[in-house]
Chains A and B, each alone.
Chain A
Amino acid sequence: SQQGEEDPQALSIQEGENATMNCSYKTSINNLQWYRQNSGRGLVHLILIRSNEREKHSGRLRVTLDTSKKSSSLLITASRAADTASYFCAHGPNYNQGGKLIFGQGTELSVKP
């Protein structure tokens, strides 16, 4: 299977704490994306990081990419109860092929007020 893995599967923290989620993948990639899914809803795109980038920021989100280890991490700083959701990483099937995205199993984040 080309599907990557995310860990932890579930994470529970208090408001104000930082949350870190990790994603590993198996192929060479051109770019990697992170998505968020609230319960009963579709996924929402958060951030895209290209293979030649090592770190990217968007508001309270920080994404890192280590292509040598085939891994990425998503850090949410100063978490809020509204950040409670599932978070997924996704990438193309290989470096040379665009198109379909392969999603990880996701990390379920619970932020307690």
Chain B
Amino acid sequence: GAGVSQSPSNKVTEKGKDVELRCDPISGHTALYWYRQSLGQGLEFLIYFQGNSAPDKSGLPSDRFSAERTGGSVSTLTIQRTQQEDSAVYLCASSLPNWGSYNSPLHFGNGTRLTVT
């Protein structure tokens, strides 16, 4: 079956512009995550959606970052007034529900490489 799909795969934008990054999770996966990965670095948690629960936004670096998940499926990460330090690969992942303290394995997309000039 289809995996996690992210679009665009690459995005170059000018400083100060807004960008939208899209994620199509695996069908039936109720959990969805956004991470950011700078060159040669680990993954920085941004936001986590689980079903109809309020999202965990604790990783969003500033109020310029926001994310939505419509109809429990597709998610959009929006970065307003982009800055050069926002340049990174933005990775989306989905998983089956997390029950209690258990962490379901994540399935990742190939990411969107964002370059802010």
Given A40-B110, A42-B93, A99-B50, check contact A105 B105 (CB 8 Å).
Answer: no
Q: Give residues in A with beta carbon < 8 Å to B.
A: 3, 30-31, 33, 35, 40-45, 48, 88, 90-92, 95-106, 108
Question: Min CB distance, A53 to chain B, in Å?
Answer: 13
Judge whether B110 and A41 touch: CB under 8 Å.
yes
> Which residue numbers of B lie inside 8 Å of A, CB to CB?
4, 31, 33, 35, 40-43, 45, 48, 50, 56, 59, 91, 93, 98-103, 105-111
Residue on B nearest A46 in the bound complex, by CB = B105
Cα–Cα, bound, A91→B4 (Å) = 21
B6 to chain A, nearest CB (A): 8
Q: Closest A-chain residue to B99, C-beta based?
A: A98
> With a CB–CB cut-off of 8 A, which chain B residues contact A45?
105-107
Complex contacts, A102 vs chain B, CB 8 Å: 45
With A and B bound together, what is the CA distance between A30 and B109 in angstroms?
Answer: 25
* Chain A: minimal CB distance from B28 (Å): 16
A90 to B93, CA, bound (A): 14
- Given A42-B93, A102-B45, answer yes or no on A97-B111 (Cβ-Cβ < 8 Å): no
**Cβ of B43 and Cβ of A88 under 8 Å apart?**
yes
A40 to B89 Cα, complex, angstroms? 9
> Is the beta-carbon distance between A48 and B42 smaller than 8 angstroms?
no
Q: Is the CB of A42 within 8 A of B101?
A: no
**Across-interface contacts of B110 in A (CB, < 8 A):** 40-42
User: Which of B42, B45, B101 meets A100, CB within 8 Å?
Assistant: B45
Chain B residues within 8 Å of A96, by CB: 101
Additional pairs, 9, CB under 8 Å, beyond known A99-B31, A99-B56: A31-B103, A33-B105, A45-B106, A96-B101, A98-B102, A99-B50, A101-B33, A101-B103, A106-B42
